[in-house]
Amino acid sequence: ALSDRLSKLVKTMRGQARITESNVQDMLREVRMALLEADVALPVVRDFIARVKEKALGQEVAGSLNPGQALVGIVHKELAATMGEGVSDINLTVQPPAVILMAGLQGAGKTTTTAKLAKHLIERRKKKVLTVSADVYRPAAIEQLKTVTRQAGAEWFPSQGDQKPRDIALAAIDYARKHHFDVLLVDTAGRLAIDEALMAEIKDLHATLTPIETLFVVDAMQGQDAINTARAFKEALPLTGIVLTKLDGDSRGGAALSVRSITGAPIKFAGVSEKIDGLEVFDADRHAGRVLGMGDIVALVEEVQKGVDMQSAQKLADKIKSGDAFDLNDFLSQLSQMKKMGGLSSLLEKLPAEMAAKAGQADMGKAEKDVRRMEGMINSMTPLERRKPDLIKASRKRRIAAGAGVQVQEVNRMLNQFEQMRDMMKKMKGGGLMKMMKRFGG
């Protein structure tokens, strides 16, 4: 696959300290192909690559990365930043009822998403929600909204096929006002972008409703053509957000980048199943990984950037292998390593199951505070005490406690924990430790 080729190229770029015009060309060509393969539209790809190139040129390459890896890191970051810009929940800061207008092609997932949003607003935002369908062309569509609205636990406002969409809208707003609804979700007929009469109709609906949110619902499987659809809807309506549906499919989801770039509207939600609870807040960082399809390299880059220092882990492993004692300096460097790797809570997710279960009983916020206190205590020790913890008896403990501003019992507890860790290290020997550290690093 393309990503494999890109990975190979990355490997051949060792030993260069900077991203330069000459080493960046091949890489960018592959990134371009990877994006096109993910169905990002061509003009969007071109713009994006130009932006990345500008950012990348002349950049120093961090630590043990090579320029290729560093570039993938930059691409990933830029992708996530572009797609994640301005992401926020539904805006409801308006005199109720807050009206939300759903727009998009036939089959994009408007009706389904209307109900999913109703559920989201009821459960997460504690709102009283009304839905209405202005899809007068298909009686089945009105019935469909009724069914899914029930599932969402919201109220449905009846409409009929012989009414005008604008009249339906006005009646629904009136009802919502009188019955103190917080939100009115207006589902509309699916339309093809080229159908001018239907585009005129939704423009009129927008003018009538003056919605706080006008959401463009788009199918993530749509591929290259998403750009044309997005352009047509952007020209017709002031879009305030995007919902990307069917992300549970196997597309790479490049439509996200196209649609975001063309409309300028933030991607607010992602549809991840047909079911009523299949709606997630859009996660740009995760989606960037999917579009790029280079999870391995991205993970490596992040690891290096987080400052996980495998060399010092290796040194520690060698030390234990060679029979040297694990001392408080090692303990301290482990503690700070843990902090660098994103805190104990994220570490927990990476631990082997049975260790995680044990650790999970503890309160993680407290655990992180404990780590800081432990560091404080070790910092109050003399170098000799750190190397030979067994020297630390009562009077030394009192001095350390006073220096770190803690009780003597806490020093005891910390020394106990250190001893437990030392025992564990002995049991694991070097190899086991390296494996554990690698796991910690992700």
Provide the annotated binding site for GTP.
Answer: 104-111, 187-191, 245-248
Site string for Mg ion, 129-168 (x = CB under 5 A): ------------x---------------------------
| Region of 108-116, 161-169, 333-341, 385-393 interacting with Mg ion (CB under 5 A) | 108-116
Residues 133, 222, 245, 251: which binds ligand GDP (CB under 6 A)? 245
The answer to whether 113 and 228 are in contact (CB under 8 A) is no
Residue 248 interacts with ligand GDP (CB under 6 A): yes or no: yes
Instruction: In whole angstroms, give the CA distance from residue 256 to residue 261.
Output: 8
- What letter represents residue 105's amino acid? L
Query: Which residue, 69 or 112, is less far from Mg ion as judged by CB?
Result: 112
| Region of 18-26, 106-114, 199-207, 393-401 interacting with ligand GDP (CB under 6 A) | 106-114
Burial class (CB in 10 A: 0-12, 13-18, 19+), 305: middle
State yes or no: cis peptide before 97, omega within 30 of 0.
yes
Query: Which residue, 248 or 302, is less far from ligand GDP as judged by CB?
Result: 248
Query: Which residue, 38 or 218, is less far from ligand GDP as judged by CB?
Result: 218
DSSP bridge pairs for 98: 183
The answer to whether 421 and 413 are in contact (CB under 8 A) is no
Residue 118 interacts with ligand GDP (CB under 6 A): yes or no: no
Site string for ligand GDP, 267-286 (x = CB under 6 A): ----xxxx---x--------
Binders of ligand GDP: how many residues, by CB under 6 A? Answer: 17
The answer to whether 145 and 133 are in contact (CB under 8 A) is yes
Query: Which residue, 267 or 301, is less far from ligand GDP as judged by CB?
Result: 267
What residues contact 167, with CB distance under 8 A and at least 6 apart? none
Annotated binding site: 104-111, 187-191, 245-248
Instruction: In whole angstroms, give the CA distance from residue 420 to residue 399.
Output: 23
* Phi, psi of 366, deg, nearest 5: -65, -40
| Count helices and strands in the chain by DSSP H and E runs | 20, 8
Closest-by-Cβ residue to Mg ion is 111
How many CA within 13 A on the CB side of residue 373? 20
The answer to whether 408 and 401 are in contact (CB under 8 A) is yes
Q: Compute the least distance from the CB of residue 429 to ligand GDP, in Å.
A: 48
Contacts with Mg ion, residue ranges (CB under 5 A): 110-111, 141
Residues in contact with ligand GDP by the rule CB under 6 A: 104, 106-112, 190, 245-246, 248, 271-274, 278
